[in-house]
Amino acid sequence: MTKAVYIGAGLDILPVLLNEDIKDFIYIDSQPTSEFGILGFLDKTFFRKNFLESLKNIMQNNNFKLQTNNNNCITYLNNNTNQTINYYINTPFPDKLNDNLINKISECDVLICIGHDPDKKILEYIKKPFSFIGSTHTCYEYNKETYETPQNSTFLELYENKFKVSSYNLIADKSYYEYWKHDKINNKILNNFIMKKYNNLKDLENERRNIFREFYD
């Protein structure tokens, strides 16, 4: 069964709504304790007090009903699409993973990377080969001379083709939309996006840049 993992998912439910064929999602985020991973756990100013309330509202607005809330794992189910989201909150990646969560990630064959370049440890944990899902609104730059690469970057590892990826998919805009307004999602907005497939991350990034410039420059 196809299962997806999304590191730094925040409030982003669009990949779920646009991929009804994927029935199981693992969401992982360090919020509400911190919006900036493990570093934020040392400073209470990074606490996001509105995160859980916003998450609840977005799930309800999109027909995802709360099933369980236990030990930093919140489970939601959409009975119409039979999709489940297991959301691991207060879980900086990869610092706060336990063996149980690592085992669950190993069952995944889809990696969602939007808004965040996760630690390359995810490429050790996830099942191979896997499908990659990105977005017009995330830079997947590969030129080390023009881009300050995060330490242990997943994107650069993928550019070097060290891992088996069955397809690279881009959530692409058909018209202007401010992607991060998660509370504004409706069927009309969903129709503004399509999924495009590429052979590698470099081709995906080139197309992403062209689309982004067309709408936002």
Q: pLDDT > 90: what percent of the chain?
A: 64
**What is the predicted pLDDT for the residue at 71?**
84
Query: What is the phi-psi region of residue 53: left when phi exceeds 0, alpha when psi lies from -120 to 50, beta otherwise?
Result: alpha
Rounded to two decimals, what is the model's pTM? 0.91
Mean pLDDT of the chain: 88
Structure tokens at 92: 């900086």
The pLDDT tens digits of the residues spanning 69-98 come to: 998 999 999 999 999 999 999 999 998 899
- Tell me the helix, strand and coil percentages in the chain, rounded to 5: 30, 25, 45
Least confident of 46-50, 67-71, 117-121: 46-50
Q: CA nearest 138: which of 121, 152, 118?
A: 118
Confidence bin at 144 (pLDDT 50/70/90): low
Alpha carbon distance 202, 155 (integer Å)? 10
Least confident of 31-40, 114-123, 178-187: 31-40
Q: CA nearest 171: which of 15, 4, 26?
A: 15
* Mean pLDDT along residues 188-194: 87
Least confident of 114-123, 182-191, 200-209: 182-191
**Residues whose CB falls within 8 Å of the CB of residue 37, separated by 6 or more in sequence, listed in order:** 30, 92, 93, 95
Check whether 143 has a pLDDT greater than 80: no
**What is the predicted pLDDT for the residue at 149?**
57
Structure tokens at 59: 């799930």
Residue 105: what are its φ and ψ, rounded to 5°? -65, -35
Confidence bin at 180 (pLDDT 50/70/90): confident
